[in-house]
Structure 1
Amino acid sequence: MFPDLAGRRALVTGGTRGIGRAVVLGLARAGATVVAGHQRQTEEAESLRRELKDTGGDHLLVQADVADPGQITELVEATGTHLGGLDIVVNNVGTISHIPYAQLPLDEWTQVLTTNLTATHLVTQGALSLLGDSGSVINIGSGSGVVGLPLRAHYTAAKTGLIGLTRSLSKELGVRGIRVNLVSPGVIETHHAEGIDPAVKAAYTNRIPLGRIGTAEEVAAVVLFLASDVSSYVNGATFAVDGGI
């Protein structure tokens, strides 16, 4: 069953590239009206705007740096003005860097935790008044939040934090009819994967039982499931989209 999201209103952060872009387009093509947050005006943002226009909906792109709480407030306010309310929130925005823990500077730790974890908290908290007494919040985590990875202690800490945040909010907000779930991608073909050394990429592929790296669209399909009524009794769950690695 393909989710029918006609009439639903959605906010997606980090919506112009990779998984976020696939989620935005998937939601729009399923009938939702989407506000996509993005950090910079780029050709990727312009091309997404053109693709969204082809879906026929009244979609909107809003430039906002989620590392700045003030800009998160502006993003949520713009969403409320444009949509009048929300049914779906997808916290996708994130950043990553690879630094040995012994040399990890505080500002890098703070930046990664702010973008990957604190922004999810602030966007979700800000969206509560727009969600009302129902809705679906989907957080995009990472397999590294479960297994841990060297050189990424800060990133792993943030993604592990999303697991706890998701589980706590699912219990606290569930009484309001708001479901909160986590999607945990493995190795996915996105701009983040483009910089991976071919040998490392091959090593990852060899560990994946399905024998290949996943696509952003495959992650987006799980997000659409969680955004729809098909998953109406799914709450506080973590969905690994990693080919079995």
Structure 2
Amino acid sequence: MDLGLQGKKALVTGGTRGVGRGMVLGLARHGVDVTTCCRKENESAASLERELKSIGGDHHVLRADVTDPDQVTELLAHCRERYGRLDVVVNNAGTISHVPYQELALEEWNRIVASNLTSAHLVIQHALPLLRPGSSVISVGSRSVEAGVVRRAHYTATKAALLGLNRSLAREFGPSGIRFNVLRLGVIETETLRELPEDRRAEIQDLYSKKSALGRIGQPEEAAGAVLWLASDLSRFVTGGVIPVDGGMS
């Protein structure tokens, strides 16, 4: 299916593994030139580079910590030099930890806030000069905002804050024709899940499959499908929204 994405330019943060990798590959396969980043050079980054090369296009896998303002400046300077503009920005970089609230150290709170919220702020702010009417900014949220997950208060707080940021930016930049939306992801099968011991992996899959209206957990390419839609003109009247990609999880 031709979504009209050929030749568009995208930045996807945290795109070498998991959901982000699925988004990078989905965009590339539809003709988008994609730059992505990771904190450390590793085999995941190297294998993504090889896969992107086989697809074809002007793709780049860079090392950048998007919690560091200087590295974000360098990342967006690269996009400006290579592409001159950005049609799609996906704030996917983030992290999670599980800590009882009364034991949550300030350092851990700050780490999660920096990774999940401040990074999105930095990337969006630095990307603004490259955005144009029709550009789509997508941030990866979580169903945990509605569910309220034990030992994830810090993580949930950052994902809730993304919703407020998204809504305000949609209003502020709507007159410029720039759209802002959040994907509310449910449980997606990624390397993190597949690397668990078999019994634990099966337990998690069974638990969340029973909570899903579709009777299963999601796949990275299904999250990528929502990104493709939001990147295309099919969603040109969609902004300030929260799009559920959770299989109808209850």
TM-score, length-scaled by structure 1: 0.96
- 8 A Cα contact 2:214 2:247, kept in partner: yes
Could you tell which deviates more after superposition, 154-163 or 74-83?
74-83
Alignment match, 2:203: 199
Alignment match, 1:36: 36
Q: CA deviation at 1:209?
A: 1.6
Q: CA deviation at 1:213?
A: 0.8
Alignment match, 1:18: 18
Structure 2 letter corresponding to 1:25: L
Structure 2 letter corresponding to 1:178: I
Q: CA deviation at 1:67?
A: 1.9
- 8 A Cα contact 2:86 2:135, kept in partner: yes
Alignment match, 1:9: 9
- 8 A Cα contact 2:3 2:30, kept in partner: yes
- 8 A Cα contact 1:166 1:182, kept in partner: yes
Q: CA deviation at 1:191?
A: 3.0
Structure 2 letter corresponding to 1:223: V
Taking the aligned partners of 2:109 and 2:160, their CA distance within structure 1 comes to 14
- 8 A Cα contact 1:138 1:182, kept in partner: yes
Unaligned 5+ runs, structure 2: none
Q: Do structure 1's residue 236 and structure 2's residue 236 form an aligned pair?
A: no
SS in 2 for 1:244: coil
SS in 2 for 1:214: coil
Q: CA deviation at 1:134?
A: 3.4
- Identity score, percent: 51
Q: RMSD between aligned alpha carbons? A: 1.3
Q: CA deviation at 1:3?
A: 1.9
Trace 1:59-138 onto structure 2 (pairs within 5 A): 59-138=59-138
Q: CA deviation at 1:4?
A: 2.4
Q: CA deviation at 1:58?
A: 1.2
- 8 A Cα contact 2:205 2:216, kept in partner: no
Structure 1 letter corresponding to 2:211: R
TM-score, length-scaled by structure 2: 0.94
Structure 2 letter corresponding to 1:47: S
Q: CA deviation at 1:11?
A: 0.4
Q: Do structure 1's residue 212 and structure 2's residue 216 form an aligned pair?
A: yes
- 8 A Cα contact 1:136 1:180, kept in partner: yes
- 8 A Cα contact 1:187 1:193, kept in partner: no
- 8 A Cα contact 1:113 1:154, kept in partner: yes
Structure 1 letter corresponding to 2:72: I
Alignment match, 1:174: 174
SS in 1 for 2:206: helix
Query: Aligned pair count?
Result: 245
